[in-house]
Amino acid sequence: MLKEPEYMTKINAKIMEMQEIVESVGEQVQDALKNKRNGLKPVASELCREAQVKEELIVEMCVESIIRYQPFASDLRAVTVAMKVSYDLSRVCRYLRNITEILDEFNIKSCKVKEVCELLKDAREMVRQSLKYYFEKDHRAAANLIKSDESIDERYRMILKSYATKKVSGTCILFNGITARIVERMADHACYISHETIYLVTGRRTDYR
């Protein structure tokens, strides 16, 4: 890969700032889920709004870069990919906020949440790794990460199936099912980031979304 242009360094610095926000929300949601604690929604909403503002700024910086520098080839791919990665991060943040919403909606004191907690932990790790590979432009590691999504999907399906045989309250079924679905979508966005990383490095689009 060629040396990154200065404007891309600035754009990626903003994506890193977004990542910090999303990771902070993720940590707080993880803790709230583990301890079955509600009331996190205002904080998560505020942080995700902040992330969204950064996403808009990133898009603005990308458009400005296209106008000013008229990038081509890998430079052009870097700009378009940055826009998509910022969007994916913004979506991850909104999914995390959704978990805080359902934590507020359901009384889950009697529910077992260990499986969804583990699922969330792994999905967050996938997001973190996908960004690491994006910044490092490591398309091979990105391709491996996409494969690991199958495991998240499988665990999501297992959570749904397990409730078909268990005698637990409807609230717990609903809470775990919806949360697992949200987490599974978060992992999908980690995969999207990885697909973008592959495109960034190789110029070849892999079929997704």
Partner 1 sequence: MADKMIIEELNAWFDTKHVLKNINVKIPEKKVTAVIGPSGCGKSTFVRCINRMHELVPGAKVSGKILLDGGDIYGGMDVMDVRRKVGMVFQKPNPFPNMSVADNVVAGLRLLGTHSKRELAEIAEDRLKSVGLWEEVKDELKKSGASLSGGQQQRLCIARALAMNPEVILMDEPTSALDPASTAKLEELVRKLKNEIMVVIITHNVSQAARISDMTAFLYLGELIEFDETKNIFEHPKNPLTERYITGRFG
> Where on the chain is the footprint of partner 1 (CB under 8 A)?
2, 70-77, 202-204
CA angle 117, 138, 66 (to 5 degrees): 105
Cβ-based nearer residue to partner 1, 52 or 74 = 74
Minimum distance from residue 2 beta carbon to partner 1 (Å): 6
Q: How far apart are CA 121 and CA 104, in angstroms?
A: 20
Minimum distance from residue 70 beta carbon to partner 1 (Å): 5
> By C-alpha distance, which of 112, 125, 102 is closest to 179?
102
Minimum distance from residue 197 beta carbon to partner 1 (Å): 14
Cβ-based nearer residue to partner 1, 147 or 205 = 205
Cβ-based nearer residue to partner 1, 38 or 80 = 80
CA angle 191, 206, 55 (to 5 degrees): 50
Minimum distance from residue 191 beta carbon to partner 1 (Å): 21
Cβ-based nearer residue to partner 1, 124 or 195 = 195
Q: How far apart are CA 179 and CA 160, in angstroms?
A: 11
Burial class (CB within 10 angstroms; exposed 0-12, middle 13-18, buried 19+) of 166: exposed
